Amino acid sequence: MKHRGRHRRRRRGRALRATLAGTALALTAAATAISASQATVAEADGALKPIGVSTEAGRLPLAEHRVPERWLDRLSSQMGRPVGVGTVLDDADRPLRDAAGCPTAEKRTLPVEPAATRAYCFDAADTRGWRPGAVTTSGDADDDGRWGGNRVILSGWSRGGAGGGSLHGPDPEQGLAKVAFVDADDPARLRYTWALLAVPVDGGRDYRGLVSPLSGMVWYQDKLLVTTREGDRDALYVYDMDRIQRATVDSDAVGRVRGGWAAHGSRYVLPAVGSYSLPGGDGVPRPASISLDRSTSPDSLVASEWVPADADRRTRLWRYALSRDPARSGLLATGPAGRAEPVEAYETRTADVRGVLAYRSGWYLDRAPSAPDGHGTLWRQDTEGARATECGADGTRHCWSGRPGSLSYWEQSGEVWSQSGRTLFALPLASIDRALS
């Protein structure tokens, strides 16, 4: 099922909303106390250093692989006709608490400066044993900010390890990944339901769970791209938002079971339709965080690798062009050999990067805190220099969220979305830029 006309991207004038949902939330008093107790970060991490995309450091070709169409058709013929995002949202009956109802411990992890203007948290009982990892929205999917008339947020979660498993996938304790489809039409009443990420096997007669943490995710047109560490060479998996399948058996199992199909308790299943793999060899970098940049032509996917703070090398950033071919909606632009080559690459001294966002000339990087209960750091960097947000009487740069996650810019509303622990939050990009200036 291809990208329908009602989802077609509309290039029209964009304007920020006249107002956001109130002023900055009164959520930062406790966070400020934590931040003020931390030492100020040393000197700025410096300007981005351009590197040639043809050099060893700048090359990160991604080879595209498609799941055979007959596999997907066989799976849907056995599971039933695929559904779309609207059908999934009709089943969104699990409420997200707004900021006032979130536990104090969750609110303490929100950014100090600039403050979040909206925040929502998942129920602990519904996410126990799962790790939050990535966020994307219908603002990525379509430039009017909606998908089929709906405003949607996707929140990725994972559990367990990355490897092994039988035909029906791993034991749930060994690793699974799922996505919360959040109905965000009413800002005062966000609700969600789960869809399990899966990989077709046995010629499309079954599926297994995706065995990987989710550290990056982008929903572009009718495709969802997620970072993966499932194998030595896997870099991204691709899912089709028009090929969502219903689970028919409520069970902890994954795949075909007696009486139907199970998805470890999720109501829906997203079977992968493709993937992008890395070249072989030791030391090949792996995209750890990704986001969409609509300020380029064509639109582009940006990626960062994860480099630990004590490493003796710099973090690399890449940009890939997205395809303009209607027959390749939502996919990366590839050459005759079927590989997506970077169109831009940089190095930065910023380490332990958990989220990357590029818009116009700036690259925004969120860095993990240096202490387990501390706050992270948000940098804006370009080829001229770097700045980080500051807060507290001592001017500390530990001002970002306590458990930094991926970043997603909803251009139609002017908001940046991210996640810290069980808490989704948003704030205007303009407020970030003001804090950085």
Which of the two residues, 4 and 98, has the higher pLDDT score? 98
Per-residue pLDDT averaged across 115-136, rounded? 94
Mean predicted confidence (pLDDT) in 180-201: 97
Residue 292 has pLDDT above 60, yes or no: yes
Average pLDDT over the chain reads: 86
C-alpha to C-alpha distance for 147 and 202, rounded to whole angstroms:
33
Q: Where residue 284 falls among pLDDT bands split at 50, 70, 90?
A: confident
In a domain, 2, yes or no: no
> Does the pLDDT value for residue 423 go beyond 90?
yes
pLDDT of 293-316, one tens digit each? Answer: 999 999 999 999 999 888 889 999
Residue 243 lies in a domain: yes
Q: What is the model's pLDDT at position 37?
A: 38
Task: Report residue 410's pLDDT band, with 50, 70 and 90 as the boundaries.
Answer: very high
- Alpha-carbon distance of 180 to 351, in angstroms, equals 29
| Single pTM value for the model | 0.88
204 has pLDDT over 50:
yes
Q: Is the predicted pLDDT of residue 335 greater than 70, yes or no? A: yes
Q: Is the pLDDT of residue 317 over 80?
A: yes
Express as a percent the part of the chain with pLDDT over 70.
86
Indicate the number of domains in the chain.
Answer: 1
Residue 41, pLDDT score: 36
In sequence order, the 6+-apart residues with CB closer than 8 A to the CB of 310 are none
Mean pLDDT of the region 158-187 = 68
Give the whole-angstrom CA distance, residue 255 versus residue 222.
24
pLDDT given for residue 174 in this prediction: 58
Q: Which of 51-60, 212-221, 333-342 has the lowest mean pLDDT?
A: 51-60
| Average of per-residue pLDDT across 129-150 | 94
CATH number for position 125 = 2.115.10
Q: Which residues pair with 301 in a beta bridge?
A: 292, 320
pLDDT class for 282, splitting at 50, 70, 90? low
Residue 404 lies in a domain: yes
pLDDT at 12: 38
Exposed/middle/buried for residue 22 (C-beta within 10 Å: 0-12, 13-18, 19+):
exposed
Residue 163, pLDDT score: 40
Is residue 378 included in any domain, yes or no?
Answer: yes
Does residue 15 belong to any structural domain of this protein? no
Give, in order, the Cα–Cα distances in Å from 7 to each of 10, 20, 135, 274.
9, 25, 20, 21
Supply the pLDDT for residue 45.
60
- Whether 33 maps to a domain, the answer reads no
In a domain, 292, yes or no: yes
SS (H, E, C) 98-152: EHHHCCHHHHCCCCCCCCCCEEEECCHHHHCCCEEEEEEEHHHHCCCCCECCECE
Q: How confident is the model at residue 199 (pLDDT cuts 50, 70, 90)?
A: very high
DSSP conformational letter for 403: S
Predicted local distance difference test score (pLDDT) of residue 180: 98
CA distance 420 to 397: 17
Range of the domain at 321: 46-436
In a domain, 175, yes or no: yes
Q: Look at residue 161 in the predicted model and tell me its pLDDT.
A: 53
**What pLDDT shows up at residue 165?**
36
Q: Is the pLDDT of residue 20 over 60?
A: no
